Amino acid sequence: MTESFKAQNCSSLTGIVLPDGVNFIRSYAFADCKGLTDFRLPDSVKYIDKYAFRNCTGLTRLVFPDSVRYIEEYAFSGCNKLSAILIPASVTTIKNNAFTGCSQLIDLYYGGTASQWGALTQLYPYTGIGSAVTVYYGATEIPDRNFLSVSVQHMPEKTIYQLGEKFDSAGFVLRVNYSDGTSKTVTNGMYFNPYGAYFASGARIITVTYAGKKTAFTIFVHPYTTSVTIVKKPAKLTYFVGESFSSSGMKLKISSSDGTTKEITGGFTCTPSKLTVAGQQKIVVSYGGKSTGFYVTVNPAVSSVTIAKKPAKLTYFTEESFSSSGMKLKVTYPDGSVKEITSGFTYTPTKLNTAGQQKIVVSYGGRSTGFYVTVNKAVSSVTIAKKPTKLTYKVGESFNAAGMKLKVTYTDGTTKEVTSGFSYSPSKLNTAGQQKIVVSYGGKSTGFYVTVNKAVSSVTIVKKPTKLTYKKGETFNSAGMKLKVTYTDGTTKQVTSGFSYSPSKLNTAGQQKIVVNYGGKTTGFYVTVR
């Protein structure tokens, strides 16, 4: 065994380099070397004997190599300026009073876990490491104390707990910010408080300490779950064999041990995740150790789909959305059976952005087919190039677009005149007066006014025409005739024009009736034809 030489009472000794191969530091080897400040044990040292560094009051930090196994009693007693030490997990024994009198020791960095440290210190509980010392587990180095602050770089993977669960720091990353403006991230060597199980619900603040600097983050502790029930089933309840289950739209009611309830839309698990058997299949939903369930319909796999009937609308303008209304698919299954469907399929694209012939791909049960629609250029504006022939109506009549012509201007600056393909409103004219007709084409609109007269309920002759006697073959003359017009709202007026009559030519001798029509209502009188 190679031992160190004895440097006891060398009060002026400030540093020493021990050669590799030294594995034993004997008792009193460096006792009372008060000037010793720069000292690092070689990686070969396994055993540090009692009183080896007693009263080395110049030591402030000490790193034990991974080779060290034993630290004997009083080995570092009286090192009253020693503030931080790194003890590797390789150490199996720290004897009583090994660090007695190390009054400035505040940070102890331990390479093992909390449970390993507890087992180690139970062997000799009077090591001299006081209760005020903060122990950092999983440490590989003593951090440089020349830093300003620490902050949370990444939260732990688990931030929501139930009563009785223990804190889990997995995934936590700490950022260390130094005074020179640099920083680094660390994942061990830090202390979390509180660290154990939680027995009170609510938000809990976890304090993180690293080399004396602190930061904090919040976790949430919920009461344990007593039951879960389905409040709302997911949007999709019908699948094909081989599809994955989707929980989108599902809502659960969670009852907890404290008597409270809440509704959630996520955070639960669902099994099976893939639906492989046709028929009614149960989905088991679990949350907080409790489960509930419901059934979905799983249809057989599809062999092929074809278009049985195209949709009603096959012509669009760019930027319009495709409409499947009226479309029918023929579905063929692996067993040879066939059915026609009008819903349950998907299609792409949903919006038609390119002028010309555009293919619509229709999918059902993992199979696809398609057809083409015509997509016209987007319209920039429309104007009335020519109004319709009929511009005067009676209340209740339907608008007639015959003769109307629109000038259409497209977004690329081109124009054309159209006499069809537009829509208009209202289609029925129910209000007397000037009524606006709004004409739309390609998502753009224009308009004009028509005259709507009140509906007539009856007409009567107030004054017959001046001429009441005719020769055979003469044309009827309405001059001097006056009608009383009664409207459906009870109002009346007398008119001397705007009516029609028949016959217009009197070809039959004798008394001949003249039928007068106004607003769809008729009256009459007789004239003499010689």
pLDDT single digits (tens) 406-425: 999 998 899 999 999 899 99
pLDDT at 502 over 60: yes
Asked, for residue 170, whether it belongs to a domain, the answer is yes
Do residue 437 and residue 501 come from a single domain? no
pLDDT at 300 over 60: yes
Residue predicted with more confidence, 306 or 137: 306
CA distance 23 to 2: 6
Peptide bond into 194 cis (omega under 30): yes
Asked, for residue 117, whether it belongs to a domain, the answer is no
Do residue 229 and residue 283 come from a single domain? yes
| For residues 485-506, average pLDDT | 92
Three-state SS sequence of 272-310: CCECCCCEEEEEEEEECCEEEEEEEEEECCCCEEEEEEC
pLDDT band at 135 (very low <50, low <70, confident <90, very high): confident
**Residue 290 token pair:** 């409790």
Domain of residue 484, residue span: 456-529
CA distance 466 to 309: 67
Do residue 407 and residue 467 come from a single domain? no
pLDDT at residue 8, as a whole number: 60
CA distance 112 to 68: 14
Residue 522 sits in a domain whose CATH number is: 2.60.40.3630
Instruction: For the full predicted model, state whether its pTM sits above 0.75.
Output: no
Asked, for residue 7, whether it belongs to a domain, the answer is no
| Average pLDDT over the chain, rounded to an integer | 91
pLDDT at 56 over 80: yes
| For residues 149-160, average pLDDT | 93
Which residue type does 42 have?
A: P
Q: How many separate domains does the chain show?
A: 5
Do residue 177 and residue 244 come from a single domain? no
CA distance 225 to 93: 45
| For residues 63-74, average pLDDT | 95
Asked, for residue 477, whether it belongs to a domain, the answer is yes
Asked, for residue 352, whether it belongs to a domain, the answer is yes
pLDDT at 139 over 90: no
pLDDT single digits (tens) 9-44: 676 677 777 788 889 999 999 999 888 886 778 899
CA distance 121 to 262: 46
Do residue 229 and residue 256 come from a single domain? yes
| For residues 318-329, average pLDDT | 94
pLDDT at 283 over 80: yes
pLDDT at residue 9, as a whole number: 62
Do residue 252 and residue 310 come from a single domain? no
Asked, for residue 340, whether it belongs to a domain, the answer is yes
pLDDT at residue 366, as a whole number: 85
**Residue 135 token pair:** 């122990």
- Contact predicate 143/213, CB 8 Å: no
Q: Taking the C-alpha atoms of 453, 454, 455 and 457 in order, what is their torsion angle to the nearest 10 degrees?
A: -130
pLDDT at residue 1, as a whole number: 43
pLDDT at residue 38, as a whole number: 66
Asked, for residue 134, whether it belongs to a domain, the answer is no
Q: Is 298 buried (19+), middle (13-18) or exposed (0-12) by CB count in 10 A?
A: buried
Residue that terminates a domain, selected from 418, 453, 488:
453
Give one DSSP letter per residue of 450-461, joined into a string: EEEEPPEEEEEE
Residue that terminates a domain, selected from 376, 391, 423:
376
